[in-house]
Amino acid sequence: MTHANQILTANGLRDGEVVYWAEGQWVTVLDKAEVFKDDPAAKAALKAAAASVEDRTVVNPYLFDVRVEAGVLRPVKEREIIRAAGPSVRRDLGKQSTEAFDVSL
């Protein structure tokens, strides 16, 4: 089965921050994430991310589906929408509290 448009995500081990894979590095902003358009590329990134688990940089890396709307990445599932926004208990904290964050994810 082929999945179009996937992103690799994990949580930073030190702070629990949601992170995304971008050309061999972890970034904290969804829009900077690398989008994998085919399974071989996505699986190769997941395999490469295993080194970040071994060196205790991140935990639980996995792939999730996104769609691109007007050039903007949008997670397909609610779980990833919430993870991209930050804590859901207070909108004045986390990524959603910044002016640059698009609350219409």
Residue 45: domain span: 6-97
Question: Could you report the per-residue pLDDT of 10-66, keeping only the tens digit for each?
Answer: 999 998 999 999 999 999 999 999 999 999 999 999 999 999 999 999 999 999 999
Q: Could you tell me if 33 and 27 are in contact, meaning their C-beta atoms sit under 8 angstroms apart?
A: yes
Is 53 contained in some domain?
Answer: yes
Residue 45 lies inside a defined structural domain of this protein? yes
d(CA 61, CA 39): 16
Q: Could you tell me if residue 83 is inside a domain?
A: yes
Say what the pTM is: 0.80
Domain count for the chain, please give it: 1
Does residue 64 fall inside a structural domain?
A: yes
Domain presence at residue 37: yes
Tell the burial category of 61 from Cβ atoms under 10 Å away from its Cβ (0-12, 13-18, 19+).
buried
Instruction: With respect to residue 103, please indicate whether it lies within any of the assigned structural domains.
Output: no
Contact predicate 96/34, CB 8 Å: no
Helix (H) or strand (E) holding 46, with range, is helix 39-54
